[in-house]
């Protein structure tokens, strides 16, 4: 079944005129750890007008359970296991206090019923709607809208969602479980992990209780709560943990995800996956888009999500990521503006490693330390093996001439 509700803001114009979209090359994807199962490579199919992008591997297709709209979506994830909480540099403590509700019963003596969990967690899950001004071809400049889900992290308005839900949005609205609506501001977003944090000016919210995704077991019952189709906020579906540590490559980004069987649809992105104690164990971000597949959903483990969220709150970005100091395009955009496919530089950051190495707008990057790159995702993946401060060798083409450049990687910041 084609997914026709998803956004891919990175493929759209972000302002008036004929400025090409800028896809940063400094979002490395994490390599899978040795103990993880082999990575399944999911290659995206060609995006069609008016429908979403399908990400395929054999008979399995993954699509982000995305915002309601008319484009494609993508999600990235890397493993991160640090704990967060009261010792964070910002002093912001994420998550609420455990419930004192007594079990009523259909899941065993140590767990709450589905009704109990639903009542506990629904106030912590919000509806997110977005607007973005885009410019494109025949239609000129117009407003495109989208929708997704989010989970409350603090009583005073910090909310976690997926990066692909809010990426490129000029206006973000949050609707609470009781119907109250707020305008939200973007605190920080990380495309590599597909995590974003937004903030509303509110108090007395009900934050989700953060669980431990490392303690999950296959077969354990879970509930997914979100906003399927962008119009059904507060929808609860149930399932089980189908598999853990699923290593999947989507558009060059390596993700380690929880696989679950709770039904999710476009609009569920950014919503919560909860265990039967009412604890948040994952952030929903992808599902199978294969018409022959049923009950195959994926979620970012909460242990990673809360770590990234804390860094976004503290810094506005995730520290330690390497950056070339360029923005690049590839694929159809490169073909349109530069006449051929490949990885082309559209912006060089002043004072960055690429600028210091003499790289210019319009240069084509052919390889990084001997690894050939033909797409921005391949460049991102190649960068993931390095750290800020490392020096890498780029092979570059400029006006028909080949040369090499030694680039010292900087640290990716919020900009």
Tell me the per-residue pLDDT of 292-313, one tens digit each, with 9 for 90 and over: 778 888 999 999 999 999 999 9
Please pick, among 11, 191, 247, 269, the residue that the annotation labels catalytic. 269
For residues 105 and 241, what is the distance between their CA atoms, to the nearest angstrom? Answer: 20
CA-based torsion, 318, 197, 78, 221: positive or negative: positive
SS3 277: coil
SS3 342: coil
Neighbouring-strand partners of residue 299: 258, 284
Tell me the per-residue pLDDT of 248-264, one tens digit each, with 9 for 90 and over: 765 456 678 999 999 99
For residues 56 and 32, what is the distance between their CA atoms, to the nearest angstrom? Answer: 19
For residues 281 and 354, what is the distance between their CA atoms, to the nearest angstrom? Answer: 40
Structure confidence at residue 385 (pLDDT)? 84
Q: Active site includes 124? A: no
Please pick, among 8, 194, 314, 363, the residue that the annotation labels catalytic. 194
Q: Active site includes 164? A: yes
Q: Please report the domains of the chain, with CATH numbers, ordered by start residue.
A: 31-319 (2.40.10.120), 322-411 (2.30.42.10)
Q: Active site includes 177? A: no
DSSP states along 326-339: EEEE-HHHHHHHHS
* Block mean pLDDT (10 aa), the chain, length 415: 33 35 39 43 32 32 47 32 41 72 48 91 95 72 86 96 90 94 94 91 95 95 93 92 83 77 91 95 85 85 94 89 91 90 94 94 95 90 87 95 95 71
Please pick, among 164, 242, 247, 288, the residue that the annotation labels catalytic. 164
Structure confidence at residue 318 (pLDDT)? 87
pTM of the predicted model, to two decimals?
0.70
Structure confidence at residue 110 (pLDDT)? 56
- Residue 166's nearest CA partner among 200, 133, 198 is 198
Q: Are 46 and 111 in contact (CB under 8 A)?
A: no
Structure confidence at residue 310 (pLDDT)? 95
Calculate ∠ Cα 344-348-354, nearest 5°.
Answer: 90
Structure confidence at residue 62 (pLDDT)? 52
């Amino acid at each position: 079944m084609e997914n026709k509700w998803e956004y891919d803001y990175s493929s759209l114009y972000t302002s008036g005129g004929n400025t090409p979209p800028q896809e940063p090359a400094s979002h490395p994807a994490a390599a899978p750890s040795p103990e993880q199962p082999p990575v399944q490579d999911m290659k995206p199919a060609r995006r069609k007008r008016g429908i979403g992008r399908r990400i395929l591997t054999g008979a399995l297709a993954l699509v982000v359970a995305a915002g309601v709209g008319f484009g494609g979506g993508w999600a990235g994830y890397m493993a991160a296991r640090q704990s967060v909480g009261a010792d964070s540099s910002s002093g912001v403590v994420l998550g609420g206090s455990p419930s004192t509700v007594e079990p009523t019963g259909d899941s065993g003596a140590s767990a709450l019923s589905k009704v109990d969990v639903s009542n506990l967690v629904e106030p912590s899950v919000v509806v997110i709607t977005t607007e973005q001004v885009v410019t494109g071809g025949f239609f000129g400049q117009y407003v495109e809208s989208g929708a997704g889900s989010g989970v409350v992290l603090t009583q005073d308005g910090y909310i976690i969602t997926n990066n692909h839900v809010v990426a490129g949005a000029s206006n973000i609205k949050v609707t609470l479980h009781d119907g109250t609506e707020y305008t939200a501001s973007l605190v920080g977003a990380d495309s590599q992990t597909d995590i974003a944090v937004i903030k509303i000016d509110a108090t007395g919210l009900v934050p989700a209780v953060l669980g431990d995704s490392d303690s999950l077991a296959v077969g354990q019952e879970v509930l997914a709560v979100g906003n399927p189709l962008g119009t059904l906020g507060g929808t609860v579906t149930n399932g089980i943990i189908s598999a853990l540590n699923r290593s999947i490559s989507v558009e060059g980004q390596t993700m380690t995800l929880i696989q679950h069987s709770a039904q999710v649809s476009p609009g569920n992105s950014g919503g919560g996956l909860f265990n039967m104690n009412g604890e948040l164990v994952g952030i929903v971000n992808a599902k199978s888009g294969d018409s022959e597949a049923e009950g195959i959903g994926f979620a970012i483990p909460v242990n990673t999500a809360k770590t990234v969220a804390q860094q976004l709150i503290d810094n506005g970005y995730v520290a330690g990521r390497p950056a070339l100091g360029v923005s690049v395009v590839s694929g159809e955009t490169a073909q349109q503006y530069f006449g051929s496919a490949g990885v082309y530089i559209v912006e060089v950051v002043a004072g960055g490693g690429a600028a210091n190495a003499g790289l210019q707008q319009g240069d084509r990057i052919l390889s990084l330390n001997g690894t050939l790159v033909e797409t921005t995702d391949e460049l991102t993946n190649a960068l993931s093996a390095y750290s800020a401060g490392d020096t890498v060798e780029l092979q570059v083409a400029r006006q028909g001439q080949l040369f090499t450049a030694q680039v010292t990687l900087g640290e990716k910041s919020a900009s």
